[in-house]
Structure 1
Amino acid sequence: MNKNICFIDGLEGILKYREVDINELVELPYDAVSYLLIRGELPGEQELAEYSARLHAERGINREVMDVIRMCNLNVDAMEALRTVVSFISQFDPDLNDSSQEGNMRKAIRLIAMVPTIVAAYYRTANGKEPVPPDPSLSHGANFLYMLKGSKPDPLEAEVMEKDFILSAEHELNASTFSSRVTASTLSDLYSAVVSGLCTLKGPLHGGARSEVMNMLEAIACPENAEKFVLEKKLKREKK
């Protein structure tokens, strides 16, 4: 299999991970797609079962991490909190100083598993609610919504969230990927590389685009307002 991690052609509407078209990948579980990205090939049935079990088992965060989340300024951009907490959790990783391929693989699995838990815990804390522990029986997308809402999502909500995670999993050599690669090229550890990427992703000319989409959807409010909203933006020559 071609080992190119990602290929994007915006004009032609092409997105591929490891030479597999995204239209095929969105029909798979998120766990299978993340396995593909970090291992280089799609898992077999047994491989997926073992990988998912490891991923789901690593979702929890300890009391010390929760203390740091509660100490964060709850009015700051959530990316600032995520950057701080990801840096902090490195201190508890038994493989922190193991830069072997397998050591980095174990760290990658922990990060994939814990980041949604951190984000959901920060969101609920910032909104005056108690964090909800992860449910290892749920899929990646369903578990994230469960931790956000405090109740299990319906099947459609879970499917949409799962597909969103898949579509967002890899976007070629963007600014945050470049930052992470620069850090990794110095033989720094994986957590440092991820924190570098998060710092870059926070910028409004990079990751901020998704926030603007959410602002736009809230401004439109309902499908009936969509056409009017777009036409007014075009008339005023506004990009957002």
Structure 2
Amino acid sequence: MSSVGMAVADGLVVTKRNLLKIRRVPDVLVFSTLSPIMFVLLFTYIFGSAIPLPGVDYVDFLMAGIFAQTVVFGSSFTGTSLAEDMTKGLIDRFRSLPMARSAVLVGRTFADVGINVVSMVVMVITGLLVGWRINGTVLEALAGFGLLLLFAYSVSWLMALIGLSVRSPEVFNNASFIVIFPITFIANTFVPTNNFPTVLKVVAEWNPISALVQAVRELWGNTSPQLPPPDVWPLQHPVLYSGLWMLGLLLVFVPLSIRKYQRVAAR
């Protein structure tokens, strides 16, 4: 078997281990699904009536943003788990096994995709119950979900590097929150950016989260011709802009994370 084949096979074994770990500690999955449910209900029933949008129900506008926020926060499980594994000495045990060095990271990031899929299923059910509907075709709907998962997967490699660089899961949680919270709120996730202050508006328009949300809204048919059309390139070509960010994140942080893991494992 080639080295790439061995890395994939070993990575799938580690993925299974991480998913089985969730079954033994179901609290992780429970709280990762309760948070998006809470956001959907709070924003729909508390803020929805105060945010009128011409031609589209607020819940339809909202759901793409909630999905994007949820999967990006879900990608942080990679960093938390790696930081925890280092404090418990599990990395040393992996080092003694005849396995590809990249398998630990591949398995961890693949497991996060599984967690995000479960969270998305719960969110779909919640959204349908509060009135959200997808107005695109089945293929467009699947493309929207696929884009969300791919974006989250690329972000998980950034989280892997941060998780391998900190001393404890608590430090990682604080560091990742400082990164994720602003980029998911200074965007078009919950409200249009038209009335943002000038500086924040520019940041939001070029924020990759805004492009991701815009792409998903268009694929799901959750937009309206009555809304002001985007006037900046990233939001005019949101799928392409999101794809460029995903490719850039993977090209930069996959090798950096693997190199960092090799240094950590060699200590």
TM-score normalised by the shorter chain: which range applies?
0.3 to 0.5
TM-score, normalised relative to structure 2: 0.36
Greater strand share, structure number = 1
More helix by share: 2
